[in-house]
Amino acid sequence: MRIKMTSVCCTLMLLMSMLLISAKDVQAASDDPILDGSYLTYDEESIGYDTKITRGEDLLTGYSKCVRLGPGRLYAGGTTIAAHTVENVQISVIVERAQKGDDSWSGYDNWHAENSDTDRVGSNRALAVEGGYYYRVRCTHSANSDMSSSFTDGVYIEEP
């Protein structure tokens, strides 16, 4: 009888501890608002890595980068890396901006770069931009016919 009573007590203690553990308050990873998959942040920089659109053998990876250089100044760019030397490797860079409360990003600037008979291409620019907006960089990466895209979180740029 004593063994049975000990077993019941242990079972009750186990159940009580499970209830206490599962009653933990769960919170979101970030309180920053999100617009079209990008957090609107006050970070100094943001880097976004590619998501594969096609399954190929030529494209290895790609990334986008957005850095606050100061009030009214933004560094934007990206890099595409092929898995080996390819005929043509390209990157298209699109800079977008939005304000808190907007429901979509609007285009601000864009450019394109390509290299032949190599395994990478990169392109970047330092831009003078209007303050009071969040800016993000979106890139399309391609190596021969393989493609992917990447985008950063929004970085807030202050008025100059």
Q: In the chain, where are the structural domains located? A: 34-157
Q: Look up the pTM and report it.
A: 0.78
pLDDT (0 to 100) of residue 42: 95
pLDDT (0 to 100) of residue 56: 80
pLDDT band at 31 (very low <50, low <70, confident <90, very high): confident
Return d(Cα 124, Cα 91) in angstroms, integer: 10
The residue whose two tokens read 């308050």 is 25
Pick from 22-26, 56-60, 100-104: least confident: 22-26
Tell me the pLDDT of the chain averaged across its residues. Answer: 88
Given CATH 2.60.40, say whether it is the number of domain 34-157: yes
Per-residue pLDDT tens digits for 93-152: 999 999 988 999 999 999 999 999 999 999 999 999 999 999 999 999 999 999 999 999
Amino acid at 54: T
